[in-house]
Amino acid sequence: MRFDLASEWRLSCSRKGIPEIPVQLPGDNYSALLDSGLVPDPCIGLNENAVQWVHECDWTFAKEFELEPEFLASKVIFLNIDSIDTFGEIRINGGFAGRSENMFSRFRADVKKLLKPGLNRIEVLIKSPSRRALEESRKQPFELVSLKFMNSVPHMNLIRKVQCHGGWDWGITLVGSGLYGNIYLEGVENVRIEHVYTVQTHRADRCTVDVTAELLAAEAGETDVEFVFNGETQKRQIAVQKGKNTAGASFEVEHPVLWNPAGYGEQNLYTLKVSSRGETIEKKIGLRTIELVTEPDENGVCMKVRVNGTDIFCKGANWIPMDCLPRNYTRENYRKLLTAARDANMNMLRAWGGGLYENEDFYELCDELGILVWQDCMFSCSQYPSSREFLELVKGELEYQVKRLRDHASIAFWCGDNEVALGLRWGAPEHRLRDVGNYERLNYVIETAVLENDPTRQFWMSSPCGGPLDYDFSLLHGDTHSWEIWSGCKPFSAYYDIVPRFCSEFGFQAFASMNAVRRFTEGKDLNMTSPVMEHHQRRPGADAKILPMFAHY
């Protein structure tokens, strides 16, 4: 039994004397302030500078709601918030319900003792992320290098939050706070389904699908679990102990219709349903084999993705967060962008490590459209802490995210980070040994957490890298980020001389479309040297590279 809390809440900030204003959740503080006319649109003109005070403040999200006695009769009542961005303290009717330290981890806690019949009030106090990042910087035993021109808000690498919120060389600085995803109370009599996952074993014209349901029981007892797949129903009655339990079923699929990447066949998806005590989890499962192949050959060591025994020519791009305001992460917008990628003959996107683990809409649509996902873990272009406390946050984050995503047919493999191994070159040479040790401590925890929760896929250390513990960035093995044309101001024809084994990132910056330019300049300041145009150019020295290329071609 669920009580949905995703609706209109109230947002306030005592530091700025902002009384309670409406905020639609899931959502963020910038969107609410924009809707209430308290801040200008940060994407227009120089407005971005005028809204930076927001991330320096603490914000309270609050809601009043009424509960019936019948709901409160449940043995356990969980509060579920898929993502709290980022440092939140949750209170219900004045009582402490828990706190969040990581926006990539789900918050779930038993709050039954804090609830009452009739009117209730929930408050989520979210602390300033930039002030918390500064506090964390003072605790570090040595400097953890990050690219200063990327993040205009420093020390973002010390907190578990979307890294590009602090600015990047392609985007705005908007360090928001909010609550995202599913937000609800859930009453449970005894057993609830925590996760469902599958393991496929393929043989000639046959596939065995083993299904496991992870169950959480409030007390010892018995429960029924029903599994439905490919027209077949299997029922299990199991004894459960208090805490975590599992139930399983196995299905044989004769002559399976396989899932394929775009351009290589159909994207067939089977429906899986797992039910217990009136709760049902439904998933779409694509049957396929997938592997990351790295084998010696006449040119070094290959790197390629093989699906259903066929080597895939991967064509695609990096996927970054689609918008600076999370409320715009709608299924409609995902479908528009992902369909455009598919229609442009892309069949792979690298979910870039400076962004976020996307929501279910993204991965479901990639499954549907046949777009493979190279899934980075969310670390990018910086050194990160390897303290026990930080590593525990990382373990919890990956346990949740990998279990959430592992059944999507589109996910090809997991990658530890974006340019963190490469970034070891950015520190002082005399600290290289220390920095490598610090990195390997973190990367080991990432790899272990990923493979423990998804043994069906392979793990790639970093992008780019030459392979496990291989810091030799070579065109002969591993993946490559090819920026020689951009950084060296070479003609595009020079790409013919660059032949990597797998090019996971390359490009050349372009000016924005005229529609975009007219929008953010409001039709004024169209000269590229105007303050507005220069403000929206985030890469130092970029215009000096683009103009000669225009002149050349």
Annotation marks residue 419 as catalytic: yes
pLDDT of the residue at 158: 98
Q: Does position 249 have pLDDT exceeding 80, yes or no? A: yes
Domains of the chain: 2-186 (2.60.120.260), 192-285 (2.60.40.10), 290-480 (3.20.20.80), 514-552 (no CATH)
Looking at 322-412, list the stretches that DSSP marks H as alpha helix, in order from N- to C-terminal side: 331-343, 360-369, 388-405
On whether the CB atoms of residues 467 and 474 are closer than 8 A, the answer is: no
At 423 the three-state DSSP class reads helix
How much is the pLDDT for 79?
A: 99
What number is the average pLDDT over the span 356-373?
99
d(CA 27, CA 6): 9
Model confidence pLDDT, tens digit, residues 529-544:
999 999 999 999 999 9
CA 215, CA 236: separation in Å to the nearest integer? 13
- Residue 151 is predicted with a pLDDT of 80
User: Which of 48, 123, 136, 419 is flagged as catalytic?
Assistant: 419
What's the rounded Cα separation, in Å, for the pair 102 and 100? 6
Task: Name the residue type at position 72.
Answer: L
Tell me if 235 sits within 8 A of 222, measured CB to CB: no
Distance in angstroms (rounded) separating the CA atoms of residues 494 and 510: 18
Q: Is 294 left (phi over 0), alpha (psi -120 to 50) or beta?
A: beta
Measured at the alpha carbon of residue 475, what is the angle toward residues 443 and 487, in degrees to the nearest 5?
Answer: 90
Measured between alpha carbons, how far is residue 163 from residues 99, 417, 429 in Å?
21, 12, 25
pLDDT band at 550 (very low <50, low <70, confident <90, very high): confident
- State percent of the chain over pLDDT 70: 100
pLDDT at 149: 74
Classify strands 372-376 and 348-351 as parallel, antiparallel or unpaired.
parallel
- The pLDDT score that the predictor gives to residue 439 is 98
> Whole-number mean pLDDT of the chain?
97
Alpha carbon 97 to chain centroid distance? 25
The percentage of the chain sitting over the pLDDT mark of 90, rounded to a whole number, equals 94
Per-residue pLDDT tens over the stretch 320-352: 999 999 999 999 999 999 999 999 999 999 999
* Pairs from 148-153 (Cβ < 8 Å, separation ≥ 24): 149/540, 150/381, 153/55
Rounded-to-integer distance, Cα 419 and Cα 318, Å = 13
Task: Give the tokens for residue 23.
Answer: 């905020």
Q: Which of 450, 276, 267 is nearest to 365 (CA)?
A: 267
- Residue pLDDT, tens place only, 57-93: 999 999 999 999 999 999 999 999 999 999 999 999 9
Q: What would the pLDDT profile of 389-415 be if each residue is shown by its tens digit?
A: 999 999 999 999 999 999 999 999 999
Q: Match 């596939």 to its residue by tokens.
A: 207
| Structure confidence at residue 544 (pLDDT) | 93
Task: Give counts: helices (H), strands (E), the chain.
Answer: 12, 30
Tell me, what's the pLDDT at 297? 95
Question: Quick check: 150 pLDDT over 80?
Answer: no
pLDDT in tens, 195-220: 999 999 999 999 999 999 999 999 99
Please state the φ and ψ torsions of residue 279, each to the nearest 5 degrees: -100, 135
What does the pLDDT read at residue 278? 87
Q: Which residues contact 390 (CB under 8 A, 6 or more apart)?
A: 384, 442
Residue 144 clears pLDDT 80, i.e. is over it: yes
How far apart are alpha carbons 331 and 325 in whole angstroms?
A: 14
pLDDT digits (tens, 9 = 90+) for 438-496: 999 999 999 999 999 999 999 999 999 999 888 888 999 999 999 999 999 999 999 99
pLDDT band at 551 (very low <50, low <70, confident <90, very high): confident
Spatial separation of the C-alpha atoms in residues 112 and 92, rounded to whole Å? 10
Confidence of residue 223 (pLDDT cuts 50, 70, 90): very high
Band (147; pLDDT cuts 50, 70, 90)? confident
| pLDDT of the residue at 552 | 82
Number of C-beta neighbours around residue 508 at 10 A:
14
User: Taken in order 112, 114, 116, 121, is the CA torsion positive or negative?
Assistant: negative
Q: What is the DSSP letter of 153?
A: S
